[in-house]
Amino acid sequence: MFRLVRDSLGACLAPQGSVVCIGAFDGVHCGHRALLGRVRERATALGVIAAAVSFEPIPREFFARSTPMPRLDNARGKIRQVRDCGIDLLLMLRFKAALASMEAEDFVEQILVHRLAMREIWVGTDFRFGRARRGDIGLLKEMGSRLGFRAEGFAEFTLGDERVRSSAIRELLRNGEFASAAHLLGRPFKIGGHVVYGQQLGRKLGYPTANIRLGRRTSPISGIFAVRVHGVAEYSLPAVASLGVRPTVDGVEPLLEAHLFDFDGDLYGRRIDVEFVAKLRDEEKFSTLEAMVAQIDLDAAQARRLLAAHHPDSPPDASVEYSRIRSSGVLA
């Protein structure tokens, strides 16, 4: 059974011992999953639990609070992805000043050895931890020889000739290269959340939207997109979406707004996932609402064409699916 623990101090969480990996795990991409899989494999071989240690906020967020760091996923998504990799225990530490200033040796002894009864640890070869980033694989090996655990470096993970890194995926997303980003992630890039009430302006303009607030998360992308919406029907539904601050209507809070084509169901309160397929353009500030609607008409038409060209999981006639959903009462 999967367990999530947030506290760094307390009784031992793994009396039978554990195999551990550590990382920020933003996005839990293909490289992360390879590392988590190795930990699962070694834990099974040793008859102990598979454990991962991560941080929220992730360290780069903590140290760069004046310039929010774009995230590939939020904490909820990280937890779900780590769990799905077969990890038994996720120790997701609250990264605050006290943890940031902890000496590397104390981190090993107090958290990894005492809290997790670590028998074996796997980390990336460039992994650093502890105050002033003094801890590394060399320190882990030296301490392991004294404290009775094995430390191994996990070589960088590549697909083809490309190293899989969260920073590389963020850059691909910023450039609108969603297929390439999905290749490194191992899945399409999505943003999910519960649908909330907005200003109702889209409905008045003929483009009702399902709105998702980003909360404290900073998105790596903004603009207007062709998207697919999951969580409404058996199939993903085609849509056009805006992600940003809506300059024409003086928006401030970043908001994801998705207009589902030919759909009029009530989605308030429902959790949905918006999959990004293609970027259409950047956000613009229009002089009038009429000019904005004229551009939305063009965006919607372009999104329809793009999504119709390759949509493997949709029914041949999407309008039939919409009718089936409404008549079933699912969205009543």
Q: How far apart are CA 230 and CA 273, in angstroms?
A: 5
Rounded to two decimals, the pTM is: 0.86
pLDDT exceeds 60 at position 168: yes
182-191, 291-300, 320-329: the lowest-pLDDT one? 320-329
Question: For the residues 229-238, what does the mean pLDDT come to?
Answer: 94
pLDDT category at 171 given cuts 50, 70, 90 is: very high
pLDDT at 216: 80
pLDDT digits (tens, 9 = 90+) for 203-229: 778 899 999 998 888 899 999 999 999
Contacts with 242 (C-beta within 8 Å, 6 or more apart), sequence order: 209, 223, 224, 225, 255, 256, 257, 283
pLDDT digits (tens, 9 = 90+) for 10-37: 999 999 999 999 999 999 999 999 999 9
pLDDT exceeds 50 at position 327: no
Give the residue extent of every domain in the chain: 3-163, 188-328
| pLDDT: which is higher, 48 or 249 | 48
- The dotted CATH code for 3-163 is 3.40.50.620
Hunting for tokens 């094995």 — which residue is that? 150
pLDDT at 221: 96
Q: Are 169 and 27 in contact (CB under 8 A)?
A: yes
| pLDDT: which is higher, 238 or 205 | 238
pLDDT category at 331 given cuts 50, 70, 90 is: very low
**Six-digit token pair at 28?**
């839990």
**At 251, which helix (H) or strand (E)?**
none
Identity of the residue numbered 328 = S
CA 147 to chain centroid, in Å, comes to 35
SS3 50: strand
Q: How far apart are CA 178 and CA 191, in angstroms?
A: 13
pLDDT category at 313 given cuts 50, 70, 90 is: low
Number of H-type helices and E-type strands within the chain: 11, 14
**Six-digit token pair at 316?**
């041949």
Can you name the CATH fold of 188-328?
A: Elongation Factor Tu (Ef-tu); domain 3 (2.40.30)
Q: Are 259 and 239 in contact (CB under 8 A)?
A: yes
Q: Which residues does residue 192 pair with via DSSP β-bridges, in sequence order?
A: 273
Beta strand pairing call for 49-56 and 89-94: parallel
Beta-carbon neighbour count of residue 11 at 10 Å?
A: 7
